[in-house]
A and B are shown apart, each in its own frame.
Chain A
Amino acid sequence: MTAVALDEPAVTRPRGGVRTVYLWELEKLTAQWRIRAVAAVCLLAPFAFVLALKTQDTVPSDTLFGRWVHDTGYAIPGVVLGFAGQWAFPLLTCVVAGDIFAAEDHHGTWQTILIRSRTRGQIFTGKVLAAATFTVVVVALAGAGSIAAGVLLVGHQPLVALDGSLVSSGRAAELAALSWLCVLPPALGFTALGVLFSIATRHSAAGVMGPVLVGLLMQLYAYVDALDVIRHALLTTPFDAWHGLMSATPYYGPLVEGCVVSAVYAVVCLAAGYVLLRRRDFTKG
């Protein structure tokens, strides 16, 4: 416990420490080829998906909006969201979140950064903000990529919504953007889960794969006919909340519930992560 006493000089708490840590983390992230590759894949994968669809007559009719992929480009963001969103988002967000604390363990740099004049709280906040920023960027890139791929490669015809009503081109673009916005809360929830795994396991691979595994298990549960109550409390359920928007008579119940569930996961995971980091003795190296 000596480390706690040493690195918390309450009197000379440096100002702007979070900002410094945050900017430094962002600089480290943008310098990694791995992170750049993930960003590029998010933007370009929808284009590859649409091009693959265009070479064949069959449609992915087992996915919502799947049977409309040749009729309007606005079906593409919905298909990508339903098809890849569920399992891809936990992986994409945890590529950074699961690694951002464990990387310091991997490189053995905790002692180095803790003797700088930044508190553990500031380092924690800066790193979490950097991971959250990456999540927002990844979701934005994939959303923009899939809307652009749909509109550019298929067209901007009106969209048949989930209640059978015809949605005009402009409104369909709005709905596509809004539905991608709806996956941000659970994606950020998985970011928090990644942060917790990263701190708790002190191992990058576990930090990245742990939340992905949790996500897969939750999805598995969602597709078996079991207790409905538990399904409402799973972090993967909010990934479907956008369905409610795709209608002339939209419903927001799942969206509100999803935001609450995601917030609870985020708060619990971040609090647990912070407590673990705060009390950890790094002097043993």
Chain B
Amino acid sequence: MNRLLGCAATAAAALALLGGTAGCGAGPDITSPRLEHAIGPTFRNLFVLQQTELHGTDNMPSPDTWANCAKGGRKSGGSGPGDDWVCLVHWPSPSGITQPIAYEVNVQPTGCYRAQGPATLVGQQRIRGADGQQHTNPLYEFDGCFDTT
């Protein structure tokens, strides 16, 4: 039994060492720059996808990949997982004016997030496409992940 404990201790030490080197000098896994860097391009790609679904072709000006994320009611920044993230992205409205819209974002400790947009602007969960069929609205709610290493 002593030997078993010895083995367990060795294993624990090895893991602690590994964890130490993996996270050495690094800040928190979930940070606003990381989230912004992920959600901005994802929103842009999904916007193009939605326009293609709605109109058959993508003839709207595609938005930039700008995003500004803040956690827990702050103006900007923050870190850590939680469902109190809010991200602003640039949304080209049908009138041609680009305006910032807010997505409520739930970020998991694993580095994956779910973003839910304002349905009045980006549409409901299912939308009628150019082909008359019902499609999944890519902008209503979307998932993504980013690198936490």
Interface residues of A (CB under 8 A from B): 61-62, 64-68, 70-71, 160, 162-166, 200, 222-225, 228-233, 237, 240, 243-244, 246-249, 251, 253-254, 256-257, 260-261, 264-265, 268-269, 272, 275-276, 279
Question: Which of B14, B41, B148 contacts A264, CB < 8 Å?
Answer: B14
The interface on chain B, measured as residues whose beta carbon lies within 8 A of the other chain's beta carbons, has a size of: 46
Q: Taking chain B's interface residues, is the majority helix, strand, or loop, or is none over half, making it mixed? A: mixed
A166 to chain B, nearest CB (A): 6
How long is the Cα–Cα vector from A128 to B25 in the complex, in angstroms? 37
Q: A163-B38, A164-B49 are in contact. Are A229 and B145 (CB under 8 A)?
A: no
Q: A231-B29, A272-B7 are in contact. Are A67 and B136 (CB under 8 A)?
A: yes
A246 partner residues in chain B, CB cutoff 8 A:
145
How long is the Cα–Cα vector from A131 to B10 in the complex, in angstroms? 24
How long is the Cα–Cα vector from A231 to B112 in the complex, in angstroms? 14
B23 touches A232 (CB 8 A): yes
Residue of A nearest to B12 (CB): A268
B7 partner residues in chain A, CB cutoff 8 A:
272, 275-276
How long is the Cα–Cα vector from A269 to B19 in the complex, in angstroms? 17
Q: A67-B136, A70-B136, A264-B15 are in contact. Are A164 and B110 (CB under 8 A)?
A: no
How long is the Cα–Cα vector from A165 to B48 in the complex, in angstroms? 9
A233 touches B18 (CB 8 A): yes
B29 partner residues in chain A, CB cutoff 8 A:
228, 231
Q: A233-B19, A276-B7 are in contact. Are A64 and B49 (CB under 8 A)?
A: no
Near A by CB (< 8 A), chain B positions 1-26 give: 3-4, 7-8, 10-11, 14-16, 18-20, 22-23, 26
What are the nearest 8 A-B pairs in CB distance? Answer: A164-B45, A253-B149, A229-B23, A233-B19, A272-B7, A243-B145, A164-B46, A164-B42
B19 touches A163 (CB 8 A): no
A225 touches B144 (CB 8 A): no
How long is the Cα–Cα vector from A70 to B80 in the complex, in angstroms? 33
A225 touches B81 (CB 8 A): yes
B136 partner residues in chain A, CB cutoff 8 A:
67-68, 70-71
Q: 7 interchain pairs (CB within 8 A)?
A: A64-B112, A64-B143, A163-B41, A223-B109, A249-B41, A253-B148, A268-B11
Q: Compute the total of residue contacts between A and B using a CB distance below 8 Å.
A: 120
Residue of B nearest to A239 (CB): B110
B145 touches A244 (CB 8 A): yes
Q: A164-B138, A279-B3 are in contact. Are A65 and B10 (CB under 8 A)?
A: no
Question: Which of B3, B141, B149 contacts A232, CB < 8 Å?
Answer: B149
Q: Taking chain A's interface residues, is the majority helix, strand, or loop, or is none over half, making it mixed? A: helix
A211 to chain B, nearest CB (A): 13
B141 touches A61 (CB 8 A): yes
B149 touches A230 (CB 8 A): no
B45 touches A225 (CB 8 A): no
Interface centre among A62, A229, A240, A279 (most CB of B within 10 A): A229
**Does B61 sit at the interface, judged by CB under 8 A?**
no
Q: A163-B45, A223-B109, A276-B7 are in contact. Are A257 and B22 (CB under 8 A)?
A: yes
B11 partner residues in chain A, CB cutoff 8 A:
268-269, 272
A64 partner residues in chain B, CB cutoff 8 A:
112, 143, 145
How long is the Cα–Cα vector from A165 to B49 in the complex, in angstroms? 8
B147 touches A276 (CB 8 A): no
Q: A231-B29, A260-B18 are in contact. Are A164 and B144 (CB under 8 A)?
A: yes
How long is the Cα–Cα vector from A46 to B142 in the complex, in angstroms? 24
**Does B90 sit at the interface, judged by CB under 8 A?**
no
Residue of B nearest to A71 (CB): B136
B22 partner residues in chain A, CB cutoff 8 A:
229, 232-233, 257, 261
A272 partner residues in chain B, CB cutoff 8 A:
7-8, 10-11
Question: Which of B8, B18, B49, B144 contacts A162, CB < 8 Å?
Answer: B144
Interface centre among B10, B11, B142 (most CB of A within 10 A): B11
